[in-house]
Amino acid sequence: MEATRACGSRTDRYMGRVAAQLSAMRDDTERRDFISGEIDKWEERYARFTQSDGESHRRGDAPGQPTAFDFIETISALGAMQARYTESETA
């Protein structure tokens, strides 16, 4: 089981957790709003990351530090997930 966890990217692991949370929500509007909030948080984190040249998310000198790609990949994955939920429910 541990080997399976190690295989996924940061984004894959995070998106798995998001998907689990979404499944507990009552409707697409709530899911869309949740994802929108997550996108906002990731965009804020990415802004701090770029402004600090990555130091805001550095965890010592260990390999595997977060990169700009990790942020962009996660924000893009959240956007793709959000697009699956139509707004027709709110009309």
With contact defined as beta carbons under 8 Å apart, do 70 and 10 qualify? yes
Report how far residue 25's alpha carbon sits from residue 15's, in angstroms, rounded to the nearest whole number.
15
Domain assignment present for 17: no
Report how far residue 76's alpha carbon sits from residue 50's, in angstroms, rounded to the nearest whole number.
17
pLDDT digits 0-9 by tens, 26-71? 999 999 999 999 999 999 999 999 999 888 777 766 667 888 999 9
Q: How many domains does the chain have?
A: 1
Domain assignment present for 4: no
> Distance between terminal CA atoms of the chain?
44
Q: How far is CA 69 from CA 13, 56, 64, 89, in A?
A: 15, 15, 12, 33
Domain assignment present for 37: yes
pLDDT at 87 over 90: no
Report how far residue 86's alpha carbon sits from residue 88's, in angstroms, rounded to the nearest whole number.
5
Domain span holding position 58:
27-85
**Four-CA torsion 70, 71, 72, 73, nearest 10 degrees:** 50
| pLDDT at residue 12 in the model | 94
Domain assignment present for 45: yes
pLDDT at 1 over 60: no
| pLDDT at residue 28 in the model | 93
pTM for this predicted structure: 0.80
